[in-house]
Amino acid sequence: MTKRVLVVEDDPSVAFLIKDGLVDLGAKFYVETASSGEAALEKIAQEHWDLIVTDQRMPGMTGLQLIEALKERAPSTLTILITAYGSEEVEQAARRLNVYHYMAKPFPLADLKRVIEDALAFSQNSESSSSSNNNHKARGLKITLGGEGNVGKTTLIHRLCTGKFQVARVMTIGVDFHLYDVQHDHQPVRLIVWDVSGQEQFEFTRRAFYRGSKAVGLVYDVSERQSFERLADWYDEIRSMLPRVPLVVVGNKIDLARQVSTEEGRQLASRWGVPFFETSCVTGEGVQTVFLALADLASQYSKSKSKN
């Protein structure tokens, strides 16, 4: 079945470049553009769309306003929000509106293609299981991954969401988040997984986004000792913002030649009194186990908070 994608962008040249660049997604995707939120709503009223990709800052209706209007008119439509003017308020609003993916400009077109394919695959999987879950609304749990740049946080999330390995070619721009539905205690749970950038220039930005996290994964690269040695700084940073939120330690890239042994990672986790895991995005080993553990810890923490 052909999936219909509507790109909402007021700059004609940008709209053309995106539409032209998405052509090679193949015949299973139909892509059209709208020059404003108002024009998009007209198209949405006339035809069904599986996915809306919208810029945030446009004359008249903003991208967030368009997405909010969609919740009443086409609540099942997935949305991707693009902006060059990111802020905590915009990201919080995107999360509140259940935006599938938030992307900060500039980004490679290849990344947008990947996100669109992931979103529509997510939609198909959700539809196939909707008959058994239609009486249960998934509750959202915010999960945060921290650690140095290039340890594979983004790739871990991609492997979890798609079951495929894909090398992250560019650094995460500040903060990125993904949605993933799991079953926990026989109930649907939606993990809102936030990937905070490891680069030093984003330290100020990422601190604001720790708030509200129900569990945190501290990730290092077993083939890069410096990422392991820097994990203590990440621990201190996160504990300064989230003193009681449960943590796990994750040694990633175990398919590569090691600079950090399993025992060293286990000892560090033991010193902090937190669970320890090792993963490979290439083989998939341990990836789902880590996120299920994070879901369990986040659920327990959320329940304990609600009792207080």
**Do 83 and 168 fall within a single domain?**
no
Last residue of some domain: 128, 151, 181?
128
Final residue of a structural domain among 111, 128, 145: 128
**Residue 238's CB: how many other CB atoms inside 10 A?**
21
More confident residue, 289 or 115: 289
Residues 170 and 294 in one domain: yes
**What pLDDT shows up at residue 177?**
57
- Number of domains the chain contains: 2
The per-residue pLDDT of the chain, averaged, comes to 80
From residue 50, give the alpha-carbon distance in Å to each of 22, 23, 43, 217, 282.
Answer: 15, 16, 12, 32, 30
Give the domain-ending residue among 112, 128, 144: 128
Reading the block at residue 90, the tokens are: 């915009």
Which domain range does residue 43 map to? 3-128
Query: Same domain, yes or no, for 217 and 104?
Result: no
When mean pLDDT is compared over 24-38, 93-107, 249-263, 289-303, the highest value belongs to 249-263
User: How confident is the model over 64-103, as pLDDT tens digits?
Assistant: 999 999 988 888 889 999 887 667 788 788 888 888 888 8
227: domain CATH number is 3.40.50.300
Q: Please give the structure tokens belonging to residue 269.
A: 């986790």
Q: Indicate whether 298 and 154 sit together in one domain.
A: yes
pTM, entire model: 0.57
**Residue 148 shares a structural domain with residue 285:** yes
**What is the CATH classification number for the domain harbouring 24?**
3.40.50.2300
Mean predicted confidence (pLDDT) in 53-72: 93
Q: Say if residue 88 is in the same domain as residue 210.
A: no
